[in-house]
Amino acid sequence: MKKAILILSMLALFVGCQSQVSSRYTYQPPGQINDGFVTGSLDEVNMDKRLIKRAVERIRDGRHGEVHSMLIYRDGKLVVEEYFPGHQYQWDAPKHYGEWVNWDRDMAHCVHSVTKSITSLCIGIAIEKGFIDSVQQSIFDYLPEYQHLKRAGREYITIEHLLTMTSGLAWDEWGAPLTSIKNDQIAIYFSGMTPVEYSLGAPLFAPPGAHFNYSGGNMEILNAILKNATGGMTLDQFSAEYLFKPLNIETFDWWLKYQTGEVHAAGGVKMIPRDMVKIGVAMLDHLNGNGHKLLSDDWVSHCAEPYGGNHSIKVPGEDLGRVGYGYTWWTKQYSATGLMFSALGWGGQKIVVIPEFNAVVVFTGGNYTSKVKQYRILKNYILAAMG
C-alpha cells in the first residue's frame, strides 16, 4: 500500500513538473513580413521582458481563460506577437465553442463588438470627406424612408446620440444571454423587419442624450445613414475603400448579414490581429499628430474621452471595473494620469490604445460564457513592463 502511494506521489510530481516545463516561455521578437509593420524587441522599447514572459506563461496555463492572441506595439514597433490554442466561434454550439484550433498570424478572428468601433470610424471618415455634415444633425436628415418614425421624441435623436449610446431607444443587449430571443441583438434577426425598422421603431425609454444604454441597434441605424449619405455605398464597401485600404488592411470579412441583406454593423467583422493593431496605431498616430489623416483629430479625441464625463459604466463579463464611453470606444482611467481607450468585443476581443506609453495592445479570445480577465494582464504585466 505504501509503495502504491509512493508511486502515485512520484507520478503527480512528474506531471506537475511536466506542466511547469510546458508553460515555460522564451521571448522572440515578431517576424518581419511585408505588411507595413516595423518589428523590434522588448529591449528596444524599454519593456521588462520578465513581466511579459510571466504574462504569456499565465495565459498558457489558462489563468485568464481562453486568450487566442496577444500583440503589443510600442514606440513605432511591433514587439510582441503571441498566439495560443482555443476554440473558433460558433453561435449555436455549447459555450459558443466551435472547432479547437491553433490560432496563428494568418487566421481571421470574429471580433464581435469591435465592429461597432469600426462602424464609428467609418462615420467619422464620412464626415471628414463631406458625405455627412455633422454629428449634431438629426438622424432623419439621412433616413428619408423612415420619416414616419419621426415622432414621439425620436425627432430629437442626433448622430452623436447613436455614437455615444444615448439615443434613448429601448434596447436590451446586456439583460439576457446571446442565445436568447429576449436579447434584442438576437431578436432583431428573427423579427422579419429590416434592422432599422426594428431598432428605430422601438419606443424611447429616456430623452435622447440623457441616459447610456448599450445598443447594437444604434449601429444599424448608423449603417443606413452611411449608405444614404454616400449615395448607396454599403458599410462593407465604404470600409474597404476608405478605412481598410489606406491602412493596408487586406484580410477582413463582413461575414455576418441579416436575412434582409444588410451587413451586421454591430458585430459582423472578422480580422487578423495584426490588422487590429493597425487600427489602434491609426488612432494613436492621430493623437500624436502623425500618420494617415483619415479622421479629424477632434473625432479621435471624442473616441478617447468619455461622453459627458461619465466613468461609471460597468461592462458585464469584463474585469475592467468602471469605465467611460466615447464615440463607441471605451475609456479607462488606469492611473492618476493614465487614460486608455479601447474597442471591445464579446469574448475578449480588444484594441487598446495607451497614449501615455505610445502603445497599442490587441487581444482576441473565446471567453463567451465566462469572465474576461484581460485587464489583469494589462495592469499587472503589460503596463507594469512599460512603466
Closest CA to 114 of 325, 264, 271, 267: 267
Cα–Cα distance measured from residue 14 to residue 310, given in angstroms and rounded to the nearest whole number: 52
CATH architecture of 27-107+273-386: 3-Layer(aba) Sandwich (3.40)
Cα–Cα distance measured from residue 384 to residue 387, given in angstroms and rounded to the nearest whole number: 5
Residues 6+ positions from 28 with CB-CB distance below 8 Å: none
From first to last of the 387 residues of the chain, give the pLDDT tens digit. Answer: 445 444 444 444 444 444 444 458 999 999 999 999 999 999 999 999 999 999 999 999 999 999 999 999 999 999 999 999 999 999 999 999 999 999 999 999 999 999 999 999 999 999 999 999 999 999 999 999 999 999 999 999 999 999 999 999 999 999 999 889 999 999 999 999 999 999 999 999 999 999 999 999 999 999 999 999 999 999 999 999 999 999 999 999 999 999 999 999 999 999 999 999 999 999 999 988 776 678 999 999 999 999 998 889 999 999 999 999 999 999 999 998 899 999 999 999 999 999 999 999 999 999 999 999 999 999 999 999 998
CATH number at 115-254: 3.40.710.10
Closest CA to 279 of 36, 48, 29: 36
Alpha helices by DSSP H, listed for the chain, are 2-23, 49-60, 114-128, 159-163, 184-187, 195-200, 216-229, 235-239, 273-288, 297-304, 374-377, 383-386
- Residue holding cell 469584463? 318
DSSP 357: G
Per-domain boundaries in the chain: 27-107+273-386, 115-254
Same fold, 27-107+273-386 and 115-254: yes
Cα–Cα distance measured from residue 198 to residue 220, given in angstroms and rounded to the nearest whole number: 9
Kindly report the pTM of this predicted structure: 0.93
